[in-house]
Amino acid sequence: MIITTKQLFKIAYGKFAVGAYNINNLEQCIGLFCGSLDSQAPFIIQISKGARDYANKSMLEAIIRAADKLYPEAIFAVHLDHGDEDTCYDCIASGFYSSVMIDASMFDFNKNIEVTKRVVERAHQKNISVEAELGELGGVEENIQVDEKNAHLTDPDQAAEFVKQTGCDSLAVAIGTSHGAYKFKTAQGLHFDRIAAIQKKLPGFPLVMHGSSSVPQEEVERINKYGGKMAGARGVDENEFARAVPLGVVKVNIDTDGRLVWTAVHREHFIKNPENIDFRKPGKIFMNEYAKFIAHKNEKLGSAGWLVKVREVM
Ligand code: G3H
Ligand code: 13P
Ligand code: ZN
């Protein structure tokens, strides 16, 4: 069952974070539904502009609607990840999305407000909620390269002003994470003091953590063992999610980890079975492994076990 992102956040705030997982194909979709049901967790299914270009927006919608029918117990929201203005309008008009993200964080503060406000006005007319972003994450974000040294954390006073002026429903904050598989050179760099300061200015307001893949070292080792080259890949410590929840983080974005599981499974499979050309064999292994990964992640996010409660409240 597709529900609104707003409903999910209302239930989750201060209690657990909802895992927001990107999908690009049916294998990821099935793994996500199965893992979420195994862990009895609500979830957010995210579609990026890149995913819409790769798999076609209608195809992705059809896959998700089919999964909804196949797994009627699942409760989830559908979200546009890192949208530009035009893509947001397209998703709002489609009637399929529960929420959209307008990412205008590459613009200066005033232009970010201007663009975000336009999207919020259009989305709210259709009861769709809007995630915006303030501050810059390091790493690669959609087509935008943000140099590590220029990445800056979200300013709490600006965050309060931004939310007041735009009317956005949730805010992606830069608190030390970055997109991709190379987040930290040495130790962890999450700034919990910064999240706490933002929450103080925006009590009860849903915050979103992007760039939250944990880059499991066993997957990195497996990829390297079977011919990959991912030296120095490092992610967020998944045990830190629990610290972010009481600070107002309700949504945690994970994409890279899914790619790591996919790559590890396929590299291992084809090296061990050089004669095989049936992609359904590794495809099946991936779906099972991805489901296990999702279930484990939902445990770490605290969303595991909440499905019954969410259904009662709906
Ligand atoms: O933050 C970006 C997401 O990981 C989506 O990546 O644009 O390559 O689909 P993508
Ligand atoms: P990762 O690259 O850490 O998976 O982050 C994904 C993300 O933030 C999607 O918006
Ligand atoms: Zn992101």
Ranges 87-96, 146-155, 257-266, 296-305: which has the least confidence: 146-155
Best residue among 22, 48, 178, 249 to mutate for probing ligand 2's pocket (most ligand atoms within 8 Å of CB) is 22
- E strand or H helix that includes residue 252: strand 249-254
Ranges 34-48, 142-156, 168-182, 212-226: which has the least confidence: 142-156
Name 245's Cβ contacts closer than 8 Å, sequence gap at least 6: 14, 15, 16, 17, 301, 302
Over residues 85-98, the mean pLDDT reads: 98
User: Is pLDDT of 284 > 80?
Assistant: yes
So what's the pLDDT on residue 183?
Answer: 92
So what's the pLDDT on residue 147?
Answer: 52
CA of 274 to the centre of ligand 2 (A): 32
Cα gap 43→8, rounded to integer Å: 9
Local structure of 216: helix, strand or coil: coil
Position 224: which residue type?
Answer: N
User: Is pLDDT of 145 > 60?
Assistant: no
Residue whose structure tokens are 């769709």: 128
Residue 110, Cβ density class (10 Å: 0-12 exposed, 13-18 middle, ≥19 buried)? exposed
CA of 209 to the centre of ligand 3 (A): 8
How many CB atoms are located within 10 Å of the residue 134 CB?
25
User: Is pLDDT of 146 > 70?
Assistant: no
For 123, the token pair is 């989305």
CATH code for the domain in which residue 90 is found:
3.20.20.70
For 128, the token pair is 């769709």
Alpha-carbon torsion (27, 38, 17, 5), positive or negative: positive
The reported pTM is 0.96
User: Is pLDDT of 168 > 90?
Assistant: yes
Best residue among 133, 142, 236, 260 to mutate for probing ligand 1's pocket (most ligand atoms within 8 Å of CB) is 142
Atom 10 (ligand 1): residue with closest C-alpha? 50
Q: What is the pLDDT of residues 174-211, one digit of tens each?
A: 999 999 999 988 776 789 999 999 999 999 999 999 99
For 152, the token pair is 């800056």
For residue 17, name the pLDDT band (cuts at 50, 70, 90): very high
195 lies in which domain range?
5-313
Cα gap 209→20, rounded to integer Å: 10
Count of domains for the chain: 1
Report yes or no: 43 and 6 within 8 Å, Cβ to Cβ: no
Local structure of 120: helix, strand or coil: helix
- For ligand 1, what atom is nearest to the CA of residue 143? 7
- Beta bridge partners, 101, equal 131
User: Is pLDDT of 152 > 90?
Assistant: no
Long-range contacts of 279-288 (CB under 8 A, 24+ apart): 283/27, 286/27, 286/31, 286/261, 286/262, 287/27, 287/30, 287/31, 287/34, 288/31
User: Is pLDDT of 311 > 70?
Assistant: yes
| 81 labelled catalytic | yes
Name 97's Cβ contacts closer than 8 Å, sequence gap at least 6: 78, 79, 80, 91, 128
